[in-house]
Structure 1
Amino acid sequence: MLSSVFKPYSLKKLFEPYTIRNLTLKNRIVMSPMCMYSCYNKDGRVTDWHLTHYTTRAVGQVGLILTEATAVSTEGRIKNEDLGIWDDAHISGLSQLTDWVHANDAKIGIQLAHAGRKSKLEEPIIAPSAIPFSENSRVPGEMSLEKIEDTINAFRQGARRARMAGFDVIEIHAAHGYLIHEFLSPLSNKRTDHFGGTKENRYRFLKKIIEGIREEWNGPLFVRVSANDYDENGNNCNDFVEYAKWMKDQGVDLIDCSSGEVVPSSYHVYPGYQIQYAEQIRKEAKIPTGAVGVITEGVQAAEIVHGERADLVFIGRELLRDPYWPLSAAKQLKVDIEGPRQYRRGWNP
């Protein structure tokens, strides 16, 4: 059946190297950021869980591993147990994590994040405007201009620490209703100063974060976006084509295309439901994209890259179910890949 859909050369593209800026990945498979809530001492430091969890996916032949949302400030955590990068004390643990992943022939990136009004901490929460996420959520404090500048600098300092810790990629989390997304969306940003109102003004917060990070970071820079707010008064993919063009001009290398979650909404989830956003942004903004969202089969992933719908395939929950998903995908596609020598008798019986 596969041979009637794919020609032999197309089956291998998922496992071919991909170069972005100054980094070459051994394949097009990316582990999507997924919160682990495993900093049990609530100090944001890497634990044995993180070392085991991420390194296992490196052994499993994922090309690029992205950490969970990593808070650039204490108030930026979703929960107390979030991984952090708000202090130089975090660098040593993060360095150990990058060393372990590199030792197993994979690349690793960090997702820099701030939860904004969706933080579940007991302390005061902040947002561009004093609007709660839902009727059952707390009302955040509207950020002052000084607080905005402090937060921009927190992202810059996070990038500095990421560089010192040996990461290969930085991804800015501008999706899923967290702080940067809150600035981008007219549903959550009702400011009347130069950080609100027009699309250009709503973009200004992200623009300044990118500028700050680029002062500290010369490597590949990704941005995760929610390309559809699923609300007629919110942003849609056409808006994010324009945002993506601006990001490209600023030196962003890839747009990681997710969707939703800035306001409570319902939408139909089905295999590959977000690939359309990666495809449209890639084609119209002429920037590399990553596709994510209910991608579970090797055939499905191969179609995305062969069809040039996206450049990288981000796998989330399926890598929780199967840390060795790349091997399963290669087997399905009848592609030979070289795993760790310790496992070869099992991988290639």
Structure 2
Amino acid sequence: MMTKLFEPYTIRNLTLKNRIAMAPMCMYSCMDEDGIAGDWHRVHYASRAVGQAGLIILEATAVQPQGRISPQDLGIWSDDHVEGLSQVTSLIRQHGAAAGIQLAHAGRKSEVDGPIQAPSAIAFSEDYKTPVEMSTEDIRETVEAFTAAARRAGSAGFDLLELHGAHGYLINEFLSPLVNHRNDKYGGSAENRYRFLREIIDGVRSVWQGPLFVRISAEDYADGGMTADQYVQMAEWMKEQGVDLIDVSSGAVVPAKIRPYPGYQVPFSETIRTGADIPTGAVGLITSGLQAEEILQNERADLILIGREMLRDAYWPYQAARELHTEIEPPVQYSRGWTF
């Protein structure tokens, strides 16, 4: 019996072989601090494609050098990065998965040397540097950096792009009133706080015609912060601009106490999906095929993004298929492992 988790799923011009995606997770593995993909990235991502995920989304990949979370992050701010990323996408696609990449800027949570930027000059915590408030010229340059990164992603063979608007990084900082204290056209009202992301989406869409996701933190877990209900309006704006799916996570824009439990972020996905009538991806301690299938069958999300569980088990989709009594074809090289 074919379950919903293992049904093909079409997004714009791309059909995934199933609804299992590997969530973007930082590897901090560019040892030369040049942002160039190396052996670790080739092995790590290709192995999850062999493991039968339908979509592999590469980790947060910086559109500017000062936008890295750490000096070891992947980069896409230079044409020099295209060759290494092309090798990764080629390996992923050889094994039947689609290749996605998360375009990112760390904002005030960057730990690189030198000045860092944010919408307002407010440090994340006492353990972080105080950022420089971005000028309108800085904002323009960063929008252009996202646009150029999208163009390079196309050259590197990616099938799908995701903009990182979650977890307290730069786009998320503009969206949340807890961090964005600006008095110009990029601050204040929800529409103004959304303007930075609006300009990025417009820039990316000018050079990229494929599927486009945005990851959001739908709950700030702090008084005066953003909630999933408030994000419905922004999700509607994203939909109008040509965003195909909202990848719904939560937290990390300010230090906050979060009490996670299996599927704790799924209700946020459901709120966005229903309220904005847009496809969503569910994340957050999803560890079993039965759990993933329940989310899809009850239309709480359209795609399941597996994070830490796929770090523990590169072949998690096989385990999920067994739970759901569904047969999936292994690579021919592994077929003897399915013969008893």
TM class by shorter chain equals over 0.9
CA distance in 1, matches of 2:25, 2:339: 30
Shift of 1:306: 1.2
CA distance in 2, matches of 1:117, 1:13: 40
CA distance in 2, matches of 1:70, 1:335: 35
Shift of 1:348: 4.7
CA distance in 1, matches of 2:338, 2:103: 35
Deviates more, 1:336-345 or 1:190-199: 336-345
1:122 aligned to which of 113, 116, 121: 113
Per the alignment, residue 184 of structure 2 pairs with 193
1:241-270 superposed Cα distances (whole Å, 9 cap, x missing partner): 111000000000000000000000002100
Per the alignment, residue 82 of structure 2 pairs with 91
What secondary structure, in the 3-state scheme, does the structure 2 residue paired with 1:109 have? strand
CA distance in 1, matches of 2:269, 2:303: 10
Shift of 1:136: 2.9
TM-score (structure 1 length as normaliser): 0.96
CA distance in 2, matches of 1:106, 1:348: 24
Shift of 1:330: 0.3
Per the alignment, residue 157 of structure 2 pairs with 166
TM-score (structure 2 length as normaliser): 0.99
1:260 aligned to which of 247, 251, 271: 251
What secondary structure, in the 3-state scheme, does the structure 1 residue paired with 2:206 have? helix
- The answer to whether structure 1 residue 273 and structure 2 residue 281 are counterparts is no
Structure 1: gaps of 5 or more residues: 1-7
1:269-292 superposed Cα distances (whole Å, 9 cap, x missing partner): 000000001111111100000000
The number of residues matched between the two structures is: 340
Letter in 2 for 1:287: I
**After superposition, where does 1:61-72 map in structure 2 within 5 Å?**
61-72=52-63
- The answer to whether structure 1 residue 213 and structure 2 residue 204 are counterparts is yes
CA distance in 1, matches of 2:337, 2:267: 37
Shift of 1:135: 2.8
Letter in 2 for 1:138: K
CA distance in 2, matches of 1:283, 1:348: 44
Letter in 2 for 1:318: E
Letter in 2 for 1:152: V
Letter in 1 for 2:318: L
Structure 2: gaps of 5 or more residues: none
1:136-195 superposed Cα distances (whole Å, 9 cap, x missing partner): 321100001100000000000000000011100000000000000000000000000000
- The answer to whether structure 1 residue 57 and structure 2 residue 48 are counterparts is yes
CA RMSD of aligned residues (A): 0.8
**After superposition, where does 1:1-349 map in structure 2 within 5 Å?**
12-349=3-340
What secondary structure, in the 3-state scheme, does the structure 2 residue paired with 1:295 have? coil
1:95-121 superposed Cα distances (whole Å, 9 cap, x missing partner): 111111111111010000000000011
Deviates more, 1:200-209 or 1:95-104: 95-104
CA distance in 1, matches of 2:232, 2:22: 24
Shift of 1:70: 0.1
1:58-117 superposed Cα distances (whole Å, 9 cap, x missing partner): 000000000000000100000000000000011111111111111111101000000000
Letter in 2 for 1:79: S
1:15-35 superposed Cα distances (whole Å, 9 cap, x missing partner): 010001000000000000000
Deviates more, 1:134-143 or 1:260-269: 134-143
CA distance in 2, matches of 1:17, 1:305: 13
Letter in 2 for 1:48: D
What secondary structure, in the 3-state scheme, does the structure 2 residue paired with 1:194 have? coil
Per the alignment, residue 3 of structure 1 pairs with none
What secondary structure, in the 3-state scheme, does the structure 1 residue paired with 2:30 have? coil
Letter in 1 for 2:195: R
Letter in 2 for 1:336: E
What secondary structure, in the 3-state scheme, does the structure 1 residue paired with 2:179 have? coil
CA distance in 1, matches of 2:309, 2:256: 24
CA distance in 1, matches of 2:219, 2:338: 40
Shift of 1:332: 1.1
Per the alignment, residue 4 of structure 1 pairs with none
Identity %: 61
CA distance in 2, matches of 1:348, 1:70: 40
Letter in 1 for 2:149: G
CA distance in 1, matches of 2:143, 2:108: 16
What secondary structure, in the 3-state scheme, does the structure 2 residue paired with 1:313 have? strand
Per the alignment, residue 5 of structure 1 pairs with none
> Structure 1 segments of 4 or more deviating over 2 A?
none
Shift of 1:345: 1.6
